[in-house]
Amino acid sequence: MEHPHVYYQKKSRKFSRKFIRHLQLAREEIQALTGAGEWENFKHKGLEQLELLLKELPYIGGDKNNMTSYLVQSAYFFAVYDVLSGYQIPLNKIGHLLTIMGERQFDKIPNLIGNFAGKHMCRSSTIKKKQLKRNHPGRTKYPEDFVFTIEEVRNADCDIKVNYTQCAIHLFAKRTGHLDILPYMCNLDYKLYKKLGLNLRRTKILAQGYECCNFMISLEGDALPVWPPNFLDNSTDYR
């Protein structure tokens, strides 16, 4: 793409400000990797890279789609990855820094709000609405949107199963050459669901070549830690 979608153009200043706030969450760690005197230069390079990435970001409905915020956040992470790669920082160290940044971002969500959102997400009425809206790939208006099925099971294994057969972030990563860092981002889902008061298990992710990301969500149980990364449950692929 030569130009970002008009939605991203109109929001570019807002996204730039949010990007800088994301960087501030891990300023100490970034300076430890790049050098204390590199902070302003790092921010400048990051903003330049973000501008380039926004040109490639798929449009999935803007503010009408609550997944847009996660898609835009992936552009922040990819921009950080690109700049740190220029400093010859190894992949696992970049992945660790992005994990710290993501955890601190999620920690800003008040526990009360997180738990309420998690309970709302698991209500039968909410699930039924999502089933009607998203259960069929042809029902999405945007070709690169998230496509998933959702099933209420309520058994010993889990309460809800969600299978993502298409992920806008995965498509974005493939287009821009960021598949190597993507599993570290996917790994932050464990932190997000913990913040929602839920327990996530997963044995497949698109980022590692599987046909879907299979989310098994439970109201009970202990959440997995995000570091060392659990790209897949019981995985030893920690890179």
CA 216 from chain center: how many Å? 17
Q: Residues 35, 115: one domain?
A: no
Query: Considering its fold, how many domains does the chain have in total?
Result: 2
Number of helices followed by number of strands (H, E) in the chain = 11, 4
State how far the Cα of 89 lies from the Cα of 68, in Å rounded to an integer. Answer: 29
pTM of the model: 0.92
**63-108 pLDDT tens trace:** 999 999 999 999 999 999 999 999 999 999 999 999 999 999 999 9
State how far the Cα of 120 lies from the Cα of 169, in Å rounded to an integer. Answer: 24
Amino acid 39: pLDDT:
97
Rg of the chain over Cα atoms, rounded to whole angstroms, equals 18
Picking from 50, 73, 107, the residue at the C-terminal end of a domain is 107
Amino acid 57: pLDDT:
97
Q: Residues 98, 120: one domain?
A: no
Domain ranges, residue 141? 111-218
**22-32 pLDDT tens trace:** 999 999 999 99
**123-157 pLDDT tens trace:** 999 998 888 776 455 567 899 999 999 999 998 88
Amino acid 237: pLDDT:
40
- Looking at the domain assignment, is residue 224 inside a domain? no
Q: Residues 79, 133: one domain?
A: no
- Looking at the domain assignment, is residue 11 inside a domain? yes
CA distances from 88 to 81, 92, 97, 100, 192 (A): 11, 12, 14, 19, 29
Q: Which of 5-14, 50-59, 136-145, 229-238 has the lowest mean pLDDT?
A: 229-238
Q: Residues 22, 119: one domain?
A: no
- Looking at the domain assignment, is residue 14 inside a domain? yes
